[in-house]
Amino acid sequence: NQLAASLEETIGDLAVERDRLGSILEGLGEAVIALDAAQCITLVNPKAVDLFGFSGSPHGQSFTALLPDTALQTFIEDVSGADPKIAEFTLPGPSGKQRQLMITATPQRSGSGCLLVCRDVTNLRRLERIRSDFVANVSHELRTPVAVIRINAETLRDGAISDPDHGPRFVDGIHRNAERLSRLLTDLLDISQLEAGHYQLSTASYSL
């Protein structure tokens, strides 16, 4: 009777832990997949099913067969030791579009298989490229007026300021490009306020 009661209590504790683990996995924002030593799926959360577009239950199926990517397979096979490995892969999504996935693989404590945590970073990488292109374009736009102002200022300093014919033209060039710089800086400030959510629009009514 004591053994049966202890077994029943143990089973109850395991059920509670199972339900708790299930709730945690369902609430995670990342896709979680557990693989055994043969790279077959032993655990998967709903986020992973949506991310990879698994049809039906993927339990017991080969993960590398569902996602036949040589680099990903090599990455999983090389997981060893106790330290997790992180890498990014370009994989097709359920709609066929290519996505950038960051995958963290952690060896299981039992020594067989690993746990994969997958995160879709497609939009993040796209925003990083947009930001990089924006910085390059701004640098190019700033370089021209700064160069004109510098050249004109050096020319005036070298004696053109006393030239009644050319001196005013160099001064006008400095003023014109300084205004251009001012407009660029104003645009940058507006973009910064838009990203911070502090930009306020002035609205007005017009009769058409």
DSSP 91-109: EE-TTS-EEEEEEEEEE-T
Q: Per-residue pLDDT for the chain (208 aa), expressed as one digit of tens each?
A: 788 777 777 877 676 676 666 655 665 678 888 888 888 888 888 888 888 888 777 888 888 888 888 888 888 888 776 678 889 998 887 777 888 999 988 887 766 788 888 888 988 899 888 888 888 888 888 888 888 888 888 888 888 877 777 788 888 888 988 998 888 888 888 887 887 777 777 888 988 8
Residue 138 is encoded by which pair of tokens? 């701004």
- Are the beta carbons of 44 and 53 closer than 8 angstroms? no
Task: List all residues 6 or more positions away from 47 whose beta carbon is below 8 Å from its beta carbon.
Answer: 28, 29, 30, 31, 32
- Are the beta carbons of 33 and 116 closer than 8 angstroms? yes
Distance separating alpha carbons of residues 51 and 46, to the nearest angstrom = 9
Distance separating alpha carbons of residues 195 and 40, to the nearest angstrom = 44
Q: What is the pLDDT of residue 82?
A: 67
User: How many whole angstroms from its chain centre is CA 206?
Assistant: 42
Distance separating alpha carbons of residues 156 and 166, to the nearest angstrom = 9
Which pTM was predicted? 0.61
